[in-house]
Amino acid sequence: MEEITISLIASAIIGLFCVPFLLNSMNQKKKSKSLINTLKTKTQTGGLTNGQFETWRSNYCLGLDKERKKVLFLEKENGQDFIQTIDLAQVKICKALLGYRSFKGEKSQQKIIEKVQLAFMPINDSKASQFLELYTESKQDYLVNEWEIAQKWESEINKLLN
């Protein structure tokens, strides 16, 4: 009888510990689906069959429409949606970029990552490059996985361009 009581108490404690993680995971998936649906709806890509999407920070969504050769980017800020579309037919290459700011440390110059961007270099050199900001220090306090996202998408987009 005592073993059953101990088992029940241990199970209840483990359950109480796990419930917040499960709820958080379900909430993140719901927000992710919402961001993807918003991006699809606002860019009229609802019939997307060969698309790839990634979300992060519950405010950003990046999509690749392989059939139409377009990169789609959604940033939610203060309840507003900011969407950018990049036409890959006009792009020569995509590069993941890090922007730094320097400051004098105790013994030497120190660098802090200020921006993580995807840069799209145009085929026509007379046109300006386009940039998608995946991380900006002024909007977020710290990096999560934006640099890894930028590198992954640089690779995916350049595969499509070649």
Give the DSSP H or E segment for 56: strand 51-56
Give the number of other CB atoms < 10 A from CB of residue 87. 13
Neighbours of 64 (CB within 10 A): 21
pLDDT of residue 155: 94
For residue 119, the cross-strand partners are 95, 131
The whole-number pLDDT of residue 131 equals: 95
Q: Give pLDDT < 50 ranges for the chain.
A: none
35 near 61, Cβ under 8 Å? Answer: yes
pTM of structure: 0.76
Task: Give me the pLDDT at residue 41, please.
Answer: 72
What is the pLDDT, as a whole number, of residue 3? 82
How far apart are alpha carbons 160 and 76 in whole angstroms? 27
